[in-house]
């Protein structure tokens, strides 16, 4: 992998990740951009104890542009985009409309490929491996920022999810706090360790799921299963078999196998409701990594107790029907799942990718 860092016309950082070591990235951003102006601030909810990012400047972000005006495609002639070069393998750049900025964190965009009409599932194993390297590198770099406590790599895919740019891409959020979902995991982890005499909750869950009937895919170094208490109609959790706290901890064997396992999962997701694959499934794919720091607020555990894992889920519950977060889910955070996890796992095992 070759990494080339440069700057866009407004001063934001842009990084090319290339498979070839001889790639030359010297294209200049020729757009007359004004400096980025953000209103991002983080406010603490005194009642719930969580944090909310207030970012009114995002009202003006790019919204469903036509394909020939996509800001994530390479620049071509007089059509100038966020990527100055005429082609790329993987690109990461600072979001011009970030939810988090400055002391409130940082937001980055990850473009998986220069092919506007592709999806992550269309990538080759080599391309998917390069994205993994980019995620890992950005996790390492962002963890050194003074304000950052947690790094979150994720992909929103599909208009039903709320995606406003059709180009295959994901994002990275560097939070200045431990997120509520991770906080719940850490509290459960600490409580289980104390109650069990030192055992690890993640290890216990993976062992039980691996021996049960909800495994979807299993490799030498990764296992993917539908969890016992899945919140979403089709939800898969992907764990490395050797527990590590973050992407940096993966060894070479796990990195090599990851593309095959992950691409197969994505292709099966696309065929859950339509085995021809012509109706792509909307999904969210989310990496869960340990926060950076000593975890002083969680007695008895450290970040090595946390288990890196990826959660992949769709809001589509059946063909043509979506799972909406209504009163119970949005109002009280109590999920109601219409698809039994065992049925979801069976369906994902049945579906063969093309």
- Residues classed as catalytic: 169
Please tell me the distance from the alpha carbon of residue 341 to that of residue 345, in angstroms, as a whole number.
Answer: 6
Residue 119: CA count within 13 A, CB half-sphere: 19
DSSP 94-153: E-SS-SS-GGG-EEEEEE--S-TT--GGGS-HHHHHHHHHHHHHHHHHHHTSTT-SEEEE
User: Are the C-beta atoms of residues 72 and 64 closer than 8 Å to each other?
Assistant: no
Query: How far apart, in Å, are the Cα atoms of 343 and each of 56, 146, 316, 349?
Result: 42, 45, 15, 10
**Cα–Cα distance for residue pair 67/86, rounded to 1 Å:** 16
Q: Which of 107, 89, 108 is nearest to 99 (CA)?
A: 107
Q: Which of 222, 231, 143, 144 is nearest to 184 (CA)?
A: 231
Of the candidates 135, 168, 23, the residue with the CA atom closest to the CA atom of residue 6: 23
- Nearest CA to 298 among 178, 197, 203, 205? 178
* Farthest-apart Cα atoms in the chain, separation: 65
DSSP state letter for 83: B
Distance CA 273, CA 172 (A): 29
Cα(44)–Cα(56) distance, rounded to whole angstroms?
Answer: 17
Contact indicator for 182, 288 with CB cutoff of 8 Å: yes
3-state secondary structure at position 64? coil
């Amino acid at each position: 992998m070759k990494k080339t860092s440069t700057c866009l016309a407004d001063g934001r950082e842009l990084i090319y990740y290339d498979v070839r070591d001889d790639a030359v990235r010297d294209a200049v951003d020729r757009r007359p951009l004004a400096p980025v102006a953000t209103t991002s601030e983080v406010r603490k909810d005194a009642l719930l104890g969580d944090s909310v990012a207030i970012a009114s400047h995002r009202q003006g972000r790019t919204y469903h542009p036509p394909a020939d005006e996509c800001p994530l495609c390479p620049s071509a002639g007089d059509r100038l985009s966020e990527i100055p070069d005429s082609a790329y393998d993987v690109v990461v750049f600072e979001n011009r409309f970030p939810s988090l900025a400055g002391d409130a964190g940082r937001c980055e965009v990850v473009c998986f490929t220069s092919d506007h009409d592709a999806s992550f599932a269309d990538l080759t194993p080599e391309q998917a491996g390069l994205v993994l390297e980019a995620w890992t590198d950005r996790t390492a770099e962002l963890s050194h920022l003074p304000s950052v406590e947690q790094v979150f790599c994720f992909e929103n895919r599909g208009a039903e999810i709320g995606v406003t740019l059709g180009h295959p891409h994901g994002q990275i959020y560097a939070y200045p706090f431990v997120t509520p979902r991770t906080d719940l995991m850490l509290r459960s982890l600490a409580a289980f360790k104390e109650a069990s005499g030192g055992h690890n909750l993640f290890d216990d869950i993976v062992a039980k799921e691996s021996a049960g009937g909800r495994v979807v895919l299993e490799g030498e170094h990764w296992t993917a299963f539908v969890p016992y208490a899945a919140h979403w109609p089709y939800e898969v959790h992907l764990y490395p078999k050797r527990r590590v706290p973050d992407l940096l901890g993966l060894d070479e064997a796990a990195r090599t196998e990851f593309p095959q396992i992950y691409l197969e999962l994505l292709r099966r997701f696309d065929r859950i409701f339509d085995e021809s694959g012509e109706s792509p499934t909307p999904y969210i794919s989310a990496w869960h990594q340990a926060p950076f720091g000593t975890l002083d607020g969680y007695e008895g555990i450290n970040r090595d107790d946390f288990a890196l894992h990826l959660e992949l889920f769709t809001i589509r519950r059946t063909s043509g029907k979506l799972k909406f977060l209504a009163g119970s889910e949005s109002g009280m955070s109590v999920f109601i799942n219409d698809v039994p996890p065992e049925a979801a796992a069976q369906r994902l095992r049945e579906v063969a990718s093309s």
